[in-house]
């Protein structure tokens, strides 16, 4: 097996094992009956599953909008709109994630859909911005020589622009996913569940073990997804 594949496998297994050991430990050694009830296998799994769904749906949506959107804005005729958009995105990014959730709660009400929508919107920003920046930062000479050699616009996009922008685009996706997993822990405040349930409950009944379980699992999830995207980048970008 190749060295890079061994690393991928080893780190993935290590993160899974850490998570499983942690869950097993807290289930076997509850400090009292309230902790035992909160940290039942069903309850942890439910919270984790809800978290995964929020992250999965909102990330898939963010990728589906952010990358094509960034590509579109990078086309010469939209370039100035793109620049304006980039600034709006930068401002949008300064709004705290909790505020975004609260804002959409006032408009869309409580529930899973609101959480997914708000987190989706929040995750688009870094992906869109980096796709735009990655493509527009390619030197004019490279694009001009591609055009001069008779490559079509579509071929230039798929063979030149996207591969050259790949490092910056993947960096945007990594930023987005870390923010996304973190923000999803706040979804509990608008009744969308997730690992935030454990953290908030733990806080209100002052049981550290519950807080640590919720926080630990979401951190491990963020580390794992970030690592995976980093690995995808390594395999895409060979130069």
Examine residue 148 and tell whether it contacts other proteins (CB under 8 A).
Answer: yes
Angle at 183 between CA 82 and CA 109, to 5 degrees: 90
Of the candidates 2, 3, 206, 238, which one interacts with other proteins according to CB under 8 A? 238
Examine residue 146 and tell whether it contacts other proteins (CB under 8 A).
Answer: yes
Q: Which of residues 158-187 bind other proteins (CB under 8 A)?
A: 160, 163-164
26 in Cβ contact with 39 (< 8 Å)? yes
CB of 144 to other proteins, least distance (A): 6
Q: Which stretch in 18-26, 31-39, 113-121, 149-157 sits in contact with other proteins by CB under 8 A?
A: 149-157
CB of 66 to other proteins, least distance (A): 22
Q: Give the C-alpha separation, 20 to 147, whole Å.
A: 53
* DSSP-assigned letters across all residues of the chain: --HHHHHHHHHHHHHHHHHHHHHHHHHHS-SSHHHHHHT-HHHHHHHHHHHHHHHHHHHHHHHHHHHHHHHHHHSGGGHHHHHHHHHHHHHHHHS-HHHHHHHHHHHH-SSHHHHHHHHHHHHHHHHHHHHHHHHHTS-HHHHHHHHHTT--HHHIIIIIIHHHHHHHHHHHHHHHHHHHHHHHTTGGGGT--STHHHHHHHHHTT-HHHHHHHHHHHHHHHHHHHHHHHHHHHHH---
Cα–Cα distances in Å, from 81 out to 73, 78, 222? 7, 5, 33
Examine residue 239 and tell whether it contacts other proteins (CB under 8 A).
Answer: yes
Examine residue 28 and tell whether it contacts other proteins (CB under 8 A).
Answer: no
Examine residue 155 and tell whether it contacts other proteins (CB under 8 A).
Answer: yes
CB of 3 to other proteins, least distance (A): 19
CB of 223 to other proteins, least distance (A): 28
Of the candidates 151, 157, 212, 232, which one interacts with other proteins according to CB under 8 A? 151
CB of 228 to other proteins, least distance (A): 22
CB of 178 to other proteins, least distance (A): 26
Nearer to other proteins, 143 or 215 (CB): 143
Examine residue 88 and tell whether it contacts other proteins (CB under 8 A).
Answer: no
Q: Which of residues 105-144 bind other proteins (CB under 8 A)?
A: 139, 141-142, 144
Of the candidates 29, 90, 145, 208, which one interacts with other proteins according to CB under 8 A? 145
Of the candidates 10, 60, 98, 237, which one interacts with other proteins according to CB under 8 A? 237
- Judged by the rule CB under 8 A, the positions of this chain that interact with other proteins are 139, 141-142, 144-152, 155, 160, 163-164, 237-239
């Amino acid at each position: 097996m190749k060295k890079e594949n061994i690393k991928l496998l080893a780190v993935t297994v290590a993160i899974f094992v850490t998570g499983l050991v942690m869950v097993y430990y807290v289930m076997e050694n509850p400090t009292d009956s309230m902790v035992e009830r909160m940290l039942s296998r069903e309850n942890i799994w439910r919270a984790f599953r809800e978290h995964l769904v929020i992250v999965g749906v909102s990330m898939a949506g963010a990728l589906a909008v952010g990358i094509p959107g960034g590509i579109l804005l990078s086309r010469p005729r939209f370039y100035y709109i793109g620049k304006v958009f980039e600034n709006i995105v930068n401002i949008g990014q300064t709004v705290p994630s909790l505020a975004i959730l609260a804002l959409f709660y006032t408009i869309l009400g409580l529930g899973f859909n609101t959480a997914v929508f708000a987190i989706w919107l929040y995750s688009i920003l870094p992906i869109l911005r980096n796709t735009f920046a990655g493509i527009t930062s390619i030197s004019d000479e490279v694009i001009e020589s591609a055009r001069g050699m008779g490559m079509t616009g579509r071929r230039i996009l798929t063979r030149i622009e996207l591969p050259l922008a790949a490092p910056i685009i993947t960096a945007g996706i990594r930023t987005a996913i870390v923010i996304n997993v973190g923000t999803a822990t706040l979804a509990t405040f608008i009744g969308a569940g997730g690992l935030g349930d454990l953290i908030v409950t733990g806080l209100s009944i002052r049981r550290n073990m519950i807080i640590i379980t919720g926080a630990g699992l979401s951190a491990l999830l963020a580390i794992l997804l970030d690592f995976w995207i980093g690995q995808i980048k390594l395999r895409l970008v060979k130069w």
